[in-house]
Amino acid sequence: MRDFSADHRWLSINTATVRKSLGKDLPLPAILDACAARGIRAVSPWRDQVQAAGLSKVAQRVRAHSLELSGYCRGGMFPATDAGGLQAALDDNRRAVDEAAELKAPCLVLVVGSLPGALQGKAAFNDIAVARTQVRDGIAELLEHARKAGVPLAIEPLHPMYAADRSCINTLEHALDLCDELDPGRSGALGVALDVYHVWWDPKLEQQIARAGKERLLAFHVCDWLTPTTDMLNDRGMMGDGVIDIPRIRGWVEAQGFAGHSEVEIFSNRWWQRDHGTVLDLCIERHRSVV
């Protein structure tokens, strides 16, 4: 297992972590500058932030700072109520793949979606099996485009508390079942983004990480699970402030040969109130001490 205590070469910042500073929106170019100024070598940007700043401008700034990407967030949200909706989702995902290619991202992270309308407060239907079929079909179609573009797709299983609205894939085992079905040859075009926040509790975690192997482990996301957690989406903890044994999970992942970035991804109403420089400095410190 790699020793992170002396430097932060393998730290990546998911840019949602500092999407706000002192409660105000922080534009992506400013985030990239702040990361580069601290010797942070990699980021994982969000589509909305990229769109707000302009794709070519962001690509240019990433290159100017010699930043690497650890992923691109995000594609997915495949389910819909009708054929038009399914097609619109697929078209949007193809654009996400193209953006990821332009940014030279090593993978497009997929938050696959679940019951259509649930995120807006009213699910159009309650058959989660239908949503899962739509997700499988959507990924199967997108995979062709992603292969041509050279952008691997990383399915991110989400904690079961999001099963109704954000993702009907809630365990690593389920995500890997889908990978095996759609990419039985383990070509490298389809894998998983493993986020400790979503999977730390899973009794099969170690076993399923071993099943995933190096070919399927495309991204590794860290933060912490706070007790109590007061908001289902935006109360993630800074590494070391919660109950996740991050080094143990990283050890399992690296035992498979994963040698990529450890990406800090914290959505937090608390940390977004702080100054982004302070947050980034603490991310570096905790990356070295508790990741």
In three-state secondary structure terms, 288 is helix
Supply the minimum distance, in Å, between the C-beta of residue 237 and Zn ion: 14
> Which residue's Cβ has the minimum distance to Zn ion?
195
User: 113 is written with which tokens?
Assistant: 């979606």
Supply the minimum distance, in Å, between the C-beta of residue 156 and Zn ion: 5
- From the list 74, 116, 114, 113, the residue with the least C-alpha distance to 95 is 74
Q: Which residues of 213-222 are buried (b: 16+ CB within 10 A; e: fewer)?
A: ebbbbbbbbb
Supply the minimum distance, in Å, between the C-beta of residue 122 and Zn ion: 26
Supply the minimum distance, in Å, between the C-beta of residue 186 and Zn ion: 22
Q: What is the CA radius of gyration of the chain?
A: 18
Nearer to Zn ion, 173 or 195 (CB): 195
Stretch that binds Zn ion, among 37-45, 178-186, 192-200, 244-252 (CB under 5 A): 192-200
Size of the chain, expressed as the number of residues it contains: 291
Place of tokens 């994963």: 258
Nearer to Zn ion, 80 or 280 (CB): 280
Q: Which residues contact 199 (CB under 8 A, 6 or more apart)?
A: 157, 159, 171, 172, 205, 249
Write the single-letter amino acid at 109. V
**99: contact with Zn ion by CB under 5 A:** no
Letters for 240-269 (x = contact with Zn ion by CB under 5 A, - = none) are -------------------------x----
Nearer to Zn ion, 147 or 267 (CB): 267
In three-state secondary structure terms, 263 is strand
- Show contacts with Zn ion in window 6-35 (CB under 5 A): none
Nearer to Zn ion, 12 or 93 (CB): 12
Nearer to Zn ion, 254 or 265 (CB): 265
User: 246 is written with which tokens?
Assistant: 């991050």
- From the list 199, 190, 187, the residue with the least C-alpha distance to 160 is 199
Q: Which of 47, 74, 221, 286 binds Zn ion (CB under 5 A)?
A: 221
Q: How many CA atoms lie within 13 A of 159 on its CB side?
A: 11
Task: Specify which residues 44 forms β-bridges with.
Answer: 14
Stretch that binds Zn ion, among 50-58, 82-90, 190-198, 272-280 (CB under 5 A): 190-198
Letters for 136-175 (x = contact with Zn ion by CB under 5 A, - = none) are ----------------------------------------
Helix (H) or strand (E) holding 44: strand 42-44
Q: By rule CB under 5 A, what count of residues binds Zn ion?
A: 3
Nearer to Zn ion, 254 or 263 (CB): 263
Asked whether 74 and 109 are in contact (CB, 8 A), the reply is yes
Q: Which of 195, 202, 215, 241 binds Zn ion (CB under 5 A)?
A: 195
User: 8 is written with which tokens?
Assistant: 């932060």
Nearer to Zn ion, 78 or 80 (CB): 78
Nearer to Zn ion, 111 or 151 (CB): 111
Residues at the interface with Zn ion (CB under 5 A)? 195, 221, 265
